A = this chain, B = another copy of it.
Amino acid sequence: MADQNRRFILAERPAGSVEESTMRLERGPVPEPGPGQALAQVRFLSIDPAIRVWLDDLPSDLPPIAIGEVIRGLGVAEIVRSDCDGYEPGDLTLGLTGWQDYVLVDKGEHSMLRTLAPGLAPETALGVLGVNGMTAYFGMLDVGRVTEGDVVVVSGAAGATGSIAGQIARVKGAAKVIGVAGGPEKCTWLVEELGFTAAIDYKADDVSSRLAELAPAGIDLFFDNVGGEILDACLANLSERARVVLCGAISVYNSRATAGGPANYMMLIFRNARMEGFEITNYFDRFEAAQAELGAWLESGAIDSAEQIVDGLERAPGALNLLFTGGNTGKLVVRT
């Protein structure tokens, strides 16, 4: 156990990408657990687009991170000391640890950290069986109501959520699963490793005309992680009664205050189509069943997952930027 606690503090709100001046690494004493508390050491941080959203002083699902606060984020932490029933030293737990080495927890009603099933790898718990897998699962099945024969498009398809979402559509009998991703390596991976029908490289291709070729009868279900021009291209190519699942808008998060919206949203009228957002927190009570089904697909090889690990807490801000430059494939985590 280290003798100090490093914590990333929000120093100033970024105008675009996270810069050197956005966050400050502070060092302080390791916190002392009080009666009924446990001390957890953060081992893995989940690097998610939502963190960038919380850096802005704009409305979102949670209040903005305040200046001077620890950067909010999910992580896996190991219990290192405990005066709390239900936490034993060595237990791995998952929750909103924040970007720091140590966090105090208790087992109160609002306990932040839940204990992981034995043997579950942290990157899996954070990724395919965690928020990303749950988001893909409920977004594709509940919000998007994927149906056998659907023509499905997923943007951010090589990302942690998109890669699972597309595979779930395939498992559920979609007629076509078309991924939109950046660069030939990701596109090849989607088709050859994950079984997507086709992939569109948005950095090289005209997305709208490729969609028109690949989905001549229109897109039945679009699972959007990206927003911006890709959302507009998909809106222009919807089928009748199409569903657009709004999972995220990563192309916009670095410029939310000035970004425009999807000019083609009117196609929702002309195609009798629906665009719906969702927060995965609404599905907590169904996580267990979803994890069981996803876990079985993983075990049988029906779906596959990828993780990318960046070593060192101090590299977390740079890792966050990778999400916005296309620098990651699959689930991105920082090993502290």
Known: A59-B236, A256-B266, A260-B261. A282 touches B277 (CB 8 A): no
Task: Mark out the residues of chain A between 202 and 250 whose CB falls within 8 Å of any chain B CB in the assembled complex.
Answer: 227, 232, 236, 246-249
CA distance A267 to B264 in the complex (A): 17
Instruction: Let me know if A252 is at the binding interface, CB within 8 A.
Output: yes
Known: A260-B261, A264-B261. A276 touches B279 (CB 8 A): no
B277 touches A273 (CB 8 A): yes
Question: How many monomers of this protein are in the complex?
Answer: 2
In the complex, residue of chain B having the shortest beta-carbon distance to the beta carbon of A236? B59
Q: Which of A232, A248, A263, A269 has the most CB of B within 10 A?
A: A269
B261 touches A271 (CB 8 A): no
Minimum Cβ distance to chain B for residue A242 (Å):
10
CA distance A83 to B274 in the complex (A): 46
Count the A residues whose beta carbon is within 8 Å of the partner chain — how many? 34
Q: Which single member of B60, B236, B266, B278 contacts A249 (CB below 8 Å)? A: B266
In the complex, residue of chain B having the shortest beta-carbon distance to the beta carbon of A227? B266
Chain A residues within CB distance 8 Å of chain B:
59-61, 227, 232, 236, 246-249, 252, 256, 259-279, 282
Give 7 nearest A-B pairs by CB, closest first.
Answer: A261-B261, A269-B277, A268-B277, A261-B262, A274-B276, A261-B263, A260-B260
